[in-house]
Amino acid sequence: MTEIELYINSYFGIVDANDLKIIGSLFKLTTIKKNDFLLKNGKCCDKLSFVQSGLLRMFIATDKKEVTQWISTKGYFSTDLASFVFDTPSRLSIQALVDSEVYSISKEDYKRIGVLVTKWHELEKLFIVRCFIMLEERIFSHLSMTADERYKLFFDNNKELFNQVPLQYIASMLGMTPETFSRIRKKQVL
């Protein structure tokens, strides 16, 4: 199995080898240099990507600051879903934090999957349900935890990220300032 077939298989649970081949063949591997953009806000997002290697930062620029919504690591998908699905201008920008490789599918090819693979919509639905549940979890963390607790929770589950990306982005993604983030880290060490 190719790498992309493995992803599709693990995320969408497709068992049929033939379907897997079809879908996999529609994704194209491309590289993005550090600091380059996979998507700039304002443009319509015309592709869906999976991170094969590297790191992508998804952020929204406000008048005051940039808000990092998520950092996609190997295996995560990366797109402005609203823009991709409903053809609206994207609010998200997506930028590579290091040289990265992504498997991307164009909107046209994406639409073709549904035609070619009967079970696709059902499997994709389950995939999005899982994403939905992750977001619910994240909202819960903001409703019920302090910055300190959110830090610990995220750190425990994503240790490897902390020496790969500027910490200010993780801080933003967890809803705190870099200063607060730094002070929390200091406490953890002692």
Residue 62 binding target from its own copies, DNA, none, CB below 5 to 8 Å by type: its own copies
116 binds its own copies (CB under 8 A): no
Contact 54, 100 (CB under 8 A): yes
Are 18 and 90 in contact, with CB atoms under 8 Å apart? no
Which of positions 35-74 make contact with its own copies (CB under 8 A)?
A: 60, 62, 65, 67-69
Sign of the alpha-carbon dihedral angle for 72, 24, 110, 31: positive
Task: Specify the DSSP class assigned to residue 87.
Answer: -
One residue of 147, 152, 154, 155 binding DNA per CB under 7 A: 147
Ramachandran angles phi, psi of 110, nearest 5°: -60, -45
Q: Does 164 bind DNA (CB under 7 A)?
A: no
Of residues 21, 89, 121, 164, which one binds its own copies by CB under 8 A? 121
Residue 122 or 179: which CB sits closer to its own copies? Answer: 122
Phi, psi of 105, deg, nearest 5: -125, 135
Residue 178 partner contact from its own copies, DNA, none using kind-dependent CB cut-offs of 5 to 8 Å: DNA
Q: Using CA atoms, how far apart are residues 145 and 22, in angstroms rounded to an integer?
A: 44
Our CA dihedral for 25, 26, 29, 35, rounded to 10 degrees, sits at: -170
Among 124, 155, 168, 180, binds its own copies (CB under 8 A): 124
Applying CB under 7 A, among 112, 119, 148, 154 the residue interacting with DNA is: 148
Residues 105-144, one symbol each (x = binds DNA by CB under 7 A, - = not), give ----------------------------------------
Among 1, 6, 85, 116, binds its own copies (CB under 8 A): 85
Residues in Cβ contact with 114 at an 8 Å cutoff, skipping those fewer than 6 apart: 120, 121
Q: Is 186 in the site for DNA (CB under 7 A)?
A: yes
